[in-house]
């Protein structure tokens, strides 16, 4: 469950490291697993010289972008009655069209991402829980 002003870790290679939630898409007050949020980048990877490095770091500090919530620290109840919770809040950065900005996802994601029309991000992840 991510509220306004919540911090989350970015688990893709878009260039951002830590983001802050500034809006939840769809009019909800809180964001859960598989929900889309609007974030501002609070910490980013340092920019290095070279054309190849600039192509990988798409976001820098202060940029506003959309993101998908893939892990939350608060427990989330599934339809079969089980609860799932993770050690941290984590997001995957998205473009305005809804495609992932990075081409790799590091770490596990929740299966709610696949169930809520995010099959592309689920296919990039090494493991789905």
pLDDT tens digits for range 90-105: 999 999 999 999 999 9
The confidence band for 56, taking pLDDT boundaries of 50, 70 and 90, is low
Query: Which of 94-97's residues contact partners 24+ apart within 8 Å by CB, and which partners?
Result: 94/36, 94/65, 94/66, 94/67, 94/68, 95/65, 95/66, 96/66
pLDDT score of 49: 59
Q: Which residues contact 85 (CB under 8 A, 6 or more apart)?
A: 72, 73, 74, 75, 76
**What's the average model confidence in pLDDT over 8-32?**
95
pLDDT score of 81: 96
Q: What is the model's pTM?
A: 0.91
């Amino acid at each position: 469950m991510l509220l306004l002003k919540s911090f989350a870790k970015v688990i893709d290679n878009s260039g951002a490291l830590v983001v802050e939630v500034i809006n939840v898409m769809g009019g909800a007050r809180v964001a859960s697993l598989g929900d889309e949020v609007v974030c501002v980048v609070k910490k980013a990877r340092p920019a290095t010289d070279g054309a190849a490095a600039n192509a990988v770091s798409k976001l820098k500090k202060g940029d506003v972008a959309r993101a998908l919530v893939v892990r939350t620290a608060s427990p989330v109840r599934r339809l079969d009655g089980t609860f799932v919770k993770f050690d941290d809040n984590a997001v995957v950065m998205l473009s305005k069209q809804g495609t992932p900005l990075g081409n790799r996802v590091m770490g596990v994601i929740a299966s709610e991402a696949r169930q809520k029309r995010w099959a592309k991000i689920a296919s990039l992840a090494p493991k789905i829980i």
